[in-house]
Structure 1
Amino acid sequence: MSKEIKSTIIDLGNINVKFIGDNKGKFSSKITNDYQSYEEGFQRIEYNGTKTYIGIGELSREFNKADRDYMAQLLYGIGKANTADTTETNLTLLLPIIQMKNKAKLVAALKEKTFNFKFNREDRSIKINDLLVLPEGYASYYSLDIEDRKGDVCILDIGSRTINICVLENGKIAKTNTIKLGSFDFYSKIKAIENAKGEDFTEEDVQRLIDNGLIKIESKQYIEFLGDILNLVKPYVNLKTYNTIFTGGTSLMLKDYITKLPLSKFKIHQNAETSNVDGALEAAKKVWSNGNKQQ
């Protein structure tokens, strides 16, 4: 009997990377290749002679995830998700719905490739046996309970750079779309307001400063941002006619205002931040338990 290949799920998010394997968790998408005099104090990956430090530096401004310099984050995520004795894995990645046309780039770069790298101080060698790429938003459908999957469902996956719309009618996809708007745009607006007062903040600073009370956000600013989201969604789907599931990290940021919307049937996903990786894990089980291999 051939041994079962492990499955690793990685969501290369714009603000956080989420992962599931032997372990489950997340880490900041900030990276830097700048020299650090005390490298042992940082999480790091070394690949092809380049050291990349994780959790410090800057977020990527590249919108297209397949064109982003993602390798350090991916290998670090695989390292975090799996035990040191893991030598091969099937891998599931996620792309915004509108970027699924770039799936082939990821397949060519990763499928059936072996990667030798240093995870902090440990030498690792992992082969990506097979690769599954799923659309964000739709992946969350597989994380829903049976009751929430019934009838006509609209999943609104509100992330840091995109809103992924996935409409399913009786379990079948009826329409999908991606809108370029997310919490990063909100942070950019707040940054501009604060810097007009003489500050010198970046988008990376904003949420930390909000959490620490150094930037005060008024309710009307969140309400206006939610209004912007709904106005952009409106041409694609009438939310009043669907069981609407709000998910993604930005839906948690706006939860106090989403819950007051005049919709007939809606909810915020109970695991909104991880619904895509949770659903991707269930979808991957269905694919690989049947012995299928992605083309």
Structure 2
Amino acid sequence: MIKKNNKTIIGVDHGYGYIKTSKTITKSGINEMIIEPPFNEDILIYGGSVYAIGQHRTEQPADKTENMDYYILTLAAIAKEMKEHNMRRVNDVIIAAGLPYSFMAKQALNFKKYLTKQKNVEFTFEGVKYSINIKGAEIYPQGFPMIALNLGKNKSTEESIVDIGSRTIDILTFINGKPIYDKCFSIDKMGTLDCVDIINKYYLSEYQERIDEEVIQNIFQNKIVSLPDDRIKFVKKVIKFYINNVCKQLDAKGIKYNVTFCGGGATVLKNYGPTIDSSCKIDDDIYGNAKGYELLAYNTIK
């Protein structure tokens, strides 16, 4: 959250796997409930409807304006960010958000309208009433915030950002502050959730049972899990297969040197990927995009 000219900028990274602000992270999961439960944890009430937020990831369409899910998830994300700052009411909110690079031309305007369709919004999250006045929204390509945060030290050198997300991998390449368009693109359906699907496919074939997604996410992060060693070794083998394939595709596109890897998949690359060139680096701050969106909006607002 950043303040400028009496406006409050809140960055929201609308991932297919997780939705993040500069300080919070929630699974991109939403389930509408018939009645309000006796507990209020993860419960959001808006427009007379009751939703459980982030308990289980739910499949989301490529077009985030297709249903109300990402709108409700945005309200939950904003509420969590407001809670971090001990706020219950905020006026003149600017939502700073992003879309995959290849989706921008088609979806950016509709996404902006989607996020700002109601100016004065009141809702309850986890038993607390929130009131926000939405002044506007700024939409940027995913990965672009990391350029603002990481690049520019040697502008004469071609530099790339590779944002490995849950669904897409977004690549942005700049030289002398200008984009190189044939090296700016998205690879759809090759994010970390696609790796989860690959693991489940081969795990089912090998052991005739499924593996919980939460277990896979923990293995991504090299956390301890309650699986036999041989099964953990098998999952790690599939992860290495996936991340090596990602690196091969990037190499084929000439994305190999002076690269900053970011997004949720940056941790997977760090833990399981091949050795990267010394000119490259890994930024595994999962809040990086949301922080960057806020900085970009801060510089955009007059």
Aligning the two structures, in what range does the TM-score lie when normalised by the shorter sequence? Answer: 0.7 to 0.9
Q: Distance in 2 between matches of 1:104 and 1:39?
A: 39
Q: Supply the AA of the counterpart residue of 2:197.
A: S
User: What is the CA distance between 1:93 and its match in structure 2?
Assistant: 1.0
Aligned length: 281
Q: Which whole-Å deviations, capped at 9, do the CAs of 1:123-145 have from their partners, x for residues lacking one?
A: 22212101100110112111116
Q: 1:10 aligns to what? A: 12
Secondary structure at 1:252's aligned position in 2? Answer: helix
Q: Distance in 1 between matches of 2:119 and 2:193?
A: 33
User: What is the CA distance between 1:225 and its match in structure 2?
Assistant: 1.0
User: What is the CA distance between 1:150 and its match in structure 2?
Assistant: 6.1
Q: Which residue, out of 147, 150, 153, partners 1:147?
A: 153
- After TM superposition, which residue ranges in structure 1, 4 or more long, deviate above 6 angstroms? none
Q: Distance in 2 between matches of 1:230 and 1:46?
A: 43
TM-score, structure 1 length as denominator? 0.85
Q: Distance in 1 between matches of 2:294 and 2:233?
A: 36
Secondary structure at 2:111's aligned position in 1? Answer: helix
Q: Distance in 1 between matches of 2:177 and 2:144?
A: 11
User: What is the CA distance between 1:273 and its match in structure 2?
Assistant: 1.6
TM-score, structure 2 length as denominator? 0.83
Taking a change above 3 Å as real, the CA distance of residues 283 and 108 of structure 1, as seen in their structure-2 partners, is: same
Contact in 2 for aligned 1:93/1:133 (Cα 8 Å):
yes
Q: Supply the AA of the counterpart residue of 2:10.
A: T
Q: 2:282 aligns to what? A: 268
Q: 1:113 aligns to what? A: 119
Secondary structure at 1:142's aligned position in 2? Answer: helix
Q: Which residue, out of 131, 141, 146, partners 2:137?
A: 131
Q: Distance in 2 between matches of 1:204 and 1:33?
A: 22
Q: 1:244 aligns to what? A: 259
Taking a change above 3 Å as real, the CA distance of residues 5 and 26 of structure 1, as seen in their structure-2 partners, is: same
Please list, as runs of the form range in 1=range in 2, the aligned pairs for 1:1-295 lying within 5 A after superposition. 4-20=6-22, 24-35=23-34, 38-68=37-67, 69-82=69-82, 83-100=87-104, 101-111=106-116, 113-144=119-150, 146-147=152-153, 151-175=157-181, 176-180=184-188, 181-196=190-205, 197-201=207-211, 203=213, 206-208=216-218, 211=223, 212-214=225-227, 216-218=232-234, 219-235=236-252, 237-240=253-256, 242-258=257-273, 260-261=275-276, 263-269=277-283, 271-288=284-301, 291=302
User: What is the CA distance between 1:19 and its match in structure 2?
Assistant: 0.8
Q: Supply the AA of the counterpart residue of 1:249.
A: G
Seq. identity, %: 23
Taking a change above 3 Å as real, the CA distance of residues 226 and 34 of structure 1, as seen in their structure-2 partners, is: same
Contact in 2 for aligned 1:66/1:103 (Cα 8 Å):
no
Q: CA RMSD in A?
A: 2.5
Secondary structure at 2:149's aligned position in 1? Answer: coil
Taking a change above 3 Å as real, the CA distance of residues 195 and 258 of structure 1, as seen in their structure-2 partners, is: closer
Q: Distance in 1 between matches of 2:79 and 2:25?
A: 12
Contact in 2 for aligned 1:89/1:130 (Cα 8 Å):
yes
User: What is the CA distance between 1:9 and its match in structure 2?
Assistant: 0.6
